[in-house]
């Protein structure tokens, strides 16, 4: 029995091996994903994002426990930043959820970003599919601490939770640009700290100006995650959001866009890999770099020549 069959028969070890194969791009990775794809599309994927120190890991832990009380199985993907020097990652988020590891209804996987800039690992989408095929009812994807541009979670999740905390100085800085638009539910964590009312008011004002969410007004929920306060109310809001998303057609639209983005990303990766291999095999790359460095050619003309050669 191969890895995909074992996974579909409920093997947690096979799920772990499948994710490892995909992460490390083993030879059998594509075969595994092809076998599993027909069994995906059933899980509710929830993205949890926000600035560093906002308590995303603690909130993820409490949400997982709340869904377990409902009898749902939960997959957790915790993405940690990868060192640009050593290539390693501390993967500390998993340590904070240590008491969940004994629960057979929970599967936790830590991933390093490996240089990806969108707040997720490049292999996060495949890992979601693997957990989905394995029968996880809810998949929680916790991103690295984001600033203003790391919004890849919208391409992966059905529901995006943006976590903020009062007292980070310029509070609203954390939700400028794309971060504001991606939030389906906003959470003010550490709601027992000073400045919570001010942050709540600023959020309300920003949401009032946001024309992107005309059919769904993202609720603002106050929680104290480390004490478990406000978690049940947050789960209720997530349930309302996904029900509204399905009813309005936004759910289908978002998943269609996700499929389109995945196809284009896979094409980019495959074409890029093919071109790099061709240049390497033919020993052209150093010669081309030298011609650009000497200003005999410009990089735009070189790329056009390469593409013309490959397409021919």
Q: Which long-range contacts (CB under 8 A, 24 or more apart) does 217-220 make?
A: 218/183, 218/184, 218/185, 218/186, 219/185, 219/186, 220/186, 220/187, 220/188
Domains of the chain by residue range: 1-39, 40-248, 260-311
Residue 27 dihedral angles phi and psi, to the nearest 5°: -60, -30
Q: Identify the pLDDT of residue 248.
A: 93
pTM score of the predicted model: 0.86
Q: Identify the pLDDT of residue 15.
A: 97
Given a cut of 60, whether residue 192 has pLDDT beyond it is: yes
Query: Mean pLDDT across the stretch 252-276?
Result: 89
- Beta strands 44-49 and 138-142, pairing class: parallel
CA distances from 65 to 16, 95, 194 (A): 21, 16, 28
Domain spanning 40-248: CATH 3.40.50.300:
yes
Report the distance separating Cα 277 and Cα 245, nearest Å. 43
Report the distance separating Cα 208 and Cα 282, nearest Å. 57
Report pLDDT digits (tens) over 282-296.
888 888 999 999 999
Given a cut of 80, whether residue 171 has pLDDT beyond it is: no
Report pLDDT digits (tens) over 4-35.
999 999 999 999 999 999 988 899 999 999 99
Q: Identify the pLDDT of residue 247.
A: 94
Report pLDDT digits (tens) over 51-77.
888 889 899 999 999 999 999 999 999
CA distances from 218 to 132, 226, 302 (A): 26, 23, 48
Q: Which residue has the higher pLDDT, 238 or 198?
A: 238
């Amino acid at each position: 029995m191969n890895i995909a069959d074992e996974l579909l028969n409920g093997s947690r070890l096979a799920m772990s091996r499948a994710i490892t194969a995909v992460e490390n791009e083993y030879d059998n990775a594509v075969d595994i994903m092809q076998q599993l794809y027909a069994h995906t599309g059933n899980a509710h994927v929830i993205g949890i994002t926000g600035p560093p120190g906002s308590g995303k890991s603690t909130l993820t832990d409490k949400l997982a426990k709340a869904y377990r009380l409902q009898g749902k199985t939960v997959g957790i993907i915790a993405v940690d930043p990868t060192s640009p020097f050593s290539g390693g990652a501390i993967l500390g988020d998993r340590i904070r959820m240590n008491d969940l590891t004994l629960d057979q209804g929970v599967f936790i996987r830590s991933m390093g970003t490996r240089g990806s800039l969108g707040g997720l690992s490049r292999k996060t989408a495949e890992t979601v599919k693997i957990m989905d095929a394995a029968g996880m009812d809810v998949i929680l994807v916790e991103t690295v601490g984001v600033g203003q541009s790391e919004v890849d979670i919208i391409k992966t999740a059905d529901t995006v939770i943006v976590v903020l905390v009062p007292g980070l100085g310029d509070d609203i800085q954390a939700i400028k640009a794309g971060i504001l638009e991606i939030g389906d539910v906003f959470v003010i964590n550490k709601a027992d700290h000073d400045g919570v009312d001010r942050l709540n008011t600023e959020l309300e004002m920003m949401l009032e100006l946001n024309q992107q969410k005309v059919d769904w007004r993202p609720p603002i929920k106050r929680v104290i995650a480390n004490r478990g306060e406000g978690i049940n109310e947050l789960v209720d809001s997530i349930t309302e959001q996904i029900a509204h998303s399905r009813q309005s057609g936004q759910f289908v639209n978002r998943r269609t866009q996700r499929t389109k983005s995945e196809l284009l990303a896979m094409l980019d990766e495959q074409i890029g890999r093919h071109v790099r291999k061709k240049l390497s095999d033919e020993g052209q790359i150093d010669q081309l770099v030298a011609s650009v460095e000497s200003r005999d050619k410009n990089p735009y003309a070189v790329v056009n020549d390469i593409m013309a050669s490959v397409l021919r």
